Structure 1
């Protein structure tokens, strides 16, 4: 209880210094958040064109000292940054594709990963990295399972510079180096094929119709679905026998609209698992989501019965235990 109270006090203190900088520089909460952690990491307040003013520099210097930032554990810094990113999402009105992925989803993906992905799979990409919550939370848990060894080579793609700034801060707070690339992930990637892709797939329409024509799943008229093209792009960029753990809108997996895509998908990859996520996990239930697990064709492809299951409400602590049991039974079969 004391730890929770202390974390809440820390959060309020961090929120205060971010807000002071935001108002002084007249920038977004996101920009002030990134600069605050840069200041704290470098133990120096960045001043450009006399901003922030000497008065505010003096004020922040005192408040920074009270935070005792250098004494905080890495996990605490990372958690505070995550909470403040949620605050930024609210204050700066992030759109649905910018919202941080709930950390619990990284736990579910880590459970799935630990059952099927060989330890030789090290090159991992998130082509819609956003603030980095999903990728870094996942790798942190895998690192814990592997007794803190981190031999992963990480890459993240996003076309939003503000998101990449957040991912950059999250990278050094988690001590997980990552190669961040700013580009449209549906254009040719500025990196090679990877062992594993993990992503909270952005949902919506893709506006660049000419580029959409480079994909099998483009629409004959009008804009194509970005999430469908995104999955196709990921499959193209997986190594033979490579894996993908994708958080996708449930509507693309079942129903009338999904028929053509699923027919195409089953020809291209081996579908390993579909885990429907609980309805109460997302504030916006316009698009209920599932975790789709794929393996690319190749000599090491695993042929197994497809696991199709629905995760119970995560308010019930036994839900993850039940999922783990189900996964073990599935792997043993």
Structure 2
């Protein structure tokens, strides 16, 4: 049966027929951006943030407007500069942009060096100014998402400096411990890593600001497992995949002296930042392939435990992330 006959039987006779040899880009061209995105991540730490950043930069629906390189942990007894982690994170972002051949296309700034309230903290004035400027734009109605894969230091500083930005964007945060009714880690309840980077900042964003929050807590982001077999194939797909896999290999080698056996999977826990933004549904755009529940936004205590607040603004708590969509899309785009 020829294609025109098949199309008629399927009710597709009014649709244009493409030659079988047409380029995929001609049949399914990219659509214009649907959202603006600010990326905030500790890119000098766990390389999952670099995978998510590369994925976002390859996603035409997401107009990445700003990249903020943020700090890792900053204990009070650390050296004063704490290794200039935010500087290193910003440098790593620029390195990735160079590998992807898009140097200079997206502004990159360093965030604060150290948590809120730390006496020797280097401020985040440059990051705050850039965040506020993007949020306060009046020349666009494209929704703005603030995607954070680590601590919330720079967002908290920006919200303190200009509270009017809160309703003008949505925070998507990879962080926070399990909510009530969800089994904790096998080792028992313990503070979640991204919260502990800057507890005061997370407490401020949840408890004192008005920004809408889509939270991907620990039990959800731990679902984002890929196998080493998949990653080896990605490493052979081209310069971007090879560079990303090299960052991951360096991290895995670093834990060998600690006596840790990581098995044959790795959690790319920051990847939901792309799933919940760039990969929203076609009609009635939303993160339709993922599951979440709504709850009043709680306050957080010093260990990250949730303190009920019945009058809190609505909080999306994601319980399940569509890993198939996330990683199939990521691998396809990074192979391109």
TM-score (norm 1): 0.34
Query: Higher helix fraction: Structure 1 or Structure 2?
Result: 1
Structure number with greater CO (CA < 8 Å, separation at least 6) is 2
TM-score (normalizing by structure 2): 0.34
